[in-house]
Structure 1
Amino acid sequence: MITLSEGEIPVIERRGDYAIIAITKHGVEMARKLQRAFSRSDLYYMSKFERGDETARGIQLFEGSVRLLFPALFPAYKGLIIIISLGAVIRMIAPLLEDKKKDPGIVVIDDKGEHVISVLSGHLGGANELTREVAAALGARPVITTASDVQGTIAVDLFGRRFGWEWESADKLTPVSASVVNEEQVAVVQESGETGWWLYSTPLPANIRVYATVTEALAAQPKAALVVTHRVLSPGEEAILANGVLYRPKVIALGIGCNRGTAAEEIEAVIAETLAELKFSPRSVKSVCTIDLKQDEEGLLAVVQKNGWAFETYTPEQLNTVPMDEPSDTVYKYTGAYGVSEPAAKLYAGVSQLALVKKKSGNVTISVAVIPSA
């Protein structure tokens, strides 16, 4: 039982990603139904509606004003599904709002379960998607007011998110979004990354044009731009970002070989130096690849864990199937493979040509591949 008191943040037991909250008889009925439909959800409702099966179902009961429950729920969950009137919810959550990049997605359902409303963090917080899922579970009508969703156009703050793309800066998200929904001329420049980002069955809106290079887009003088590239832009190209958002797709594979016991700091320094020489963004690194003899190499593991990169290893037999520009008898003598960094990068990226074939620096050897667009 959670007892809610003024001035105290209650202790909750978080198990799932979403919290469902109800305070009325009809709301509790809906909430219990939703909990069964959403396996990653935790349910909270007032103790006076106790049924006796709450402990077995992991349902948490509370006493007191539900308003006092939200300071504990807000930082704990990705999304809140609230079966309370919209006006009351807005008043209760208003003091807790920080930023759309931090606030959880908020979805409100009316007491009869007829409408499911996306209230807060529709894009970044996932409230719009959650609204559709909840409405489908209840047979209700989803209510979404985000302009890009209503108009069926690009959601700038979600562009490429499902592929893992990251924006370099959020400063221009709002003005670029305004250009998109106001049907001003918008350039999408894509030099790398996945191409299946248009999610609608209708054609791309007439105000949005795709260009292969920044130079082509600049010549068209668009009002706004979405630039997808792993490259560091040149000073002349940066003009495209006057009203533009720069996205970093995950397309760089780093093939790395190193001496046993090489420090993470040395490996990381070689990676940073190499990417700077190539004028590639570290944000676009997807994976570090190497031979399976290095699968327990502490320095490598520390680097990939720190940066959240994938870590892929290959057997000598796998590496030896890859044609190499610079095979090494010395490497073969110690590893059974004629190369490590070069064939590992080629294997992971599925390419025959590398952006950097091989560079030796101290205890580290590095090769760099760019994964083709898919």
Structure 2
Amino acid sequence: MNDSSSIAVVAISRRGSEMANRLATGLRQEVDLYLERRLADTPGSEAIAFDLPVRPLIAGLFTSHRYLVLFMPVGAAVRLLAPYLESKAADPAVVCVDDAGRFAVSLLSGHKGGADDLAQNVARVLEATPVVTSASHVLNTLAVDMLGSKYGWRIESDSGVVTRVSAAVVNGEPVALLQDAGEEDWLEDSPLPDNVQVCQSMAEFNSPWWSAGLLITDRIFDETALDARPIVVYRPRTFAVGVGCRRNVSPQELDGLLRRTFDGYGLAIGSIRCLATIDLKRDEEAISMLAQWLDVPVQYYDGDALNARPGPSGPSAAQERLGVVGVSEPAALAASGNDDLIVRKVKSSSATLAVARMVDAA
């Protein structure tokens, strides 16, 4: 679903095909150009020909591409797209361009899906006027569902809560913001409106005066606070988890060790950026499965890279078996770029684990 990062550009008229060809050469992203068969023989064009009606093509592109530019009236596009709409989290970004090339309209999945930015890029190439109607854009205010997205932050709240907090921000209600982890330069891109105030403590954040809240943390917190008002919880990717294990350890043992450790230290699993281990464990199924469950990558390091890091906090079986000072602790440090651990090596019967905070998110 929406796997292709290229932009699907579709035109059904001669004027539209001329602009579509201009767009294909002017955009900085890869473009898949689709022209009605009678128009696809333009000299120098690498267009893919299709036969009318256009509906079957649109149906396929809607699920295969993340970005669509349609050279057709907005009304026609709405009728074509309507049967396939799911949600703003799943639908591709869609931009419509009129046959005169005057307007590039952000039609679907505006700021979250990227249609707002795409409309502005299309307008730049075609010398058209971008039409963007997202509330956060036109009011030049904070986009709640996009906060931290460029850093890979995860939103731990459901869509209903995000909608309620977004409404509070847009409508000028008092909104509290508390950040104790993650990148802080997002404020340069998203200046806070006057009604969003930065809090210095959880006590201040939990004041009944606020209508809603934005909480950016990699820690577990008292979730009873979520009952008082809508709060969007963001999980910045701040943790590198070093993993060592015996051959053929069970995935369940690794997962259990991870969850017990994070619960015990008050850390949020949603803030894990990566797992890290020695390169001899590339084929260790349990580590691969844990990474898949967590939806994070695994960073692998050779013995020299691990030995260049500070030694373990206790005796290491890896010294004798693998020729390295340790695995979990030095791997966590190597992946994080940090020199200090926030969780020193913990053990289960067949695995070890350590945690370091990413130096770029400290």
State the TM-score, normalized to the length of structure 1.
Answer: 0.87
C-alpha distance in 1, partners of 2:223/2:64? 42
Alpha-carbon RMSD across the aligned residues, in angstroms, is 2.4
User: Alpha carbons of 1:266 and 1:45: their partners in 2 closer, same or farther (altered >3 Å)?
Assistant: same
2:18 to 29, 42, 55: 29
- Match for 1:310: what amino acid? P
Is contact 2:93-2:110 (8 Å) kept?
A: yes
The aligned counterpart of 2:348 is 361
The aligned counterpart of 1:180 is 169
C-alpha distance in 2, partners of 1:199/1:346? 29
C-alpha distance in 1, partners of 2:169/2:296? 32
- Match for 1:42: what amino acid? D
C-alpha distance in 1, partners of 2:342/2:225? 21
User: Alpha carbons of 1:358 and 1:154: their partners in 2 closer, same or farther (altered >3 Å)?
Assistant: same
C-alpha distance in 1, partners of 2:316/2:32? 59
C-alpha distance in 1, partners of 2:145/2:105? 20
Kindly report which structure 2 residues correspond to 1:318-333, keeping only aligned pairs within 5 A, or say none.
318-324=305-311, 326-328=313-315, 330-333=317-320
SS of 2:313's equivalent in the other structure is coil
The aligned counterpart of 2:30 is 40
SS of 1:219's equivalent in the other structure is coil
The aligned counterpart of 1:249 is 236
Offset of residue 178 of structure 1: 1.0
1:145 aligns with 2:121: no
The aligned counterpart of 1:259 is 246
- Match for 1:267: what amino acid? L
1:165 aligns with 2:153: yes
SS of 2:78's equivalent in the other structure is helix
1:336 aligns with 2:326: no
SS of 1:20's equivalent in the other structure is strand
User: Alpha carbons of 1:363 and 1:15: their partners in 2 closer, same or farther (altered >3 Å)?
Assistant: closer
Moved more, 214-223 or 102-111: 214-223
The aligned counterpart of 1:114 is 102
C-alpha distance in 1, partners of 2:118/2:23? 12
User: Alpha carbons of 1:199 and 1:139: their partners in 2 closer, same or farther (altered >3 Å)?
Assistant: farther
Moved more, 21-30 or 281-290: 281-290
1:78 aligns with 2:66: yes
1:89 to 77, 88, 94: 77
Offset of residue 216 of structure 1: 2.4
Give structure 1 stretches of 5+ with no counterpart.
Answer: 1-13
1:208 aligns with 2:196: yes
The aligned counterpart of 2:300 is 313
Moved more, 203-212 or 170-179: 203-212
User: Alpha carbons of 1:315 and 1:63: their partners in 2 closer, same or farther (altered >3 Å)?
Assistant: closer
Q: Deviations over 1:289-314 (max 9, x none)?
A: 12233234332233224433122233
Offset of residue 212 of structure 1: 4.2
- Match for 2:287: what amino acid? L
- Match for 1:65: what amino acid? P
Q: Deviations over 1:313-338 (max 9, x none)?
A: 33334333433461426432223322
Is contact 2:40-2:48 (8 Å) kept?
A: no
- Match for 1:51: what amino acid? D
SS of 2:111's equivalent in the other structure is coil
- Match for 1:283: what amino acid? G
Percent identity between the two aligned chains: 35
Q: Deviations over 1:242-282 (max 9, x none)?
A: 21111111111111111122233322232222222223222
- Match for 1:196: what amino acid? D
- Match for 1:309: what amino acid? V
- Match for 1:303: what amino acid? L
User: Alpha carbons of 1:290 and 1:279: their partners in 2 closer, same or farther (altered >3 Å)?
Assistant: same
Matched residues, number: 357
State the TM-score, normalized to the length of structure 2.
Answer: 0.90
C-alpha distance in 1, partners of 2:219/2:168? 25
The aligned counterpart of 2:7 is 18
1:190 to 176, 179, 187: 179
C-alpha distance in 2, partners of 1:36/1:113? 16
Moved more, 20-29 or 302-311: 302-311
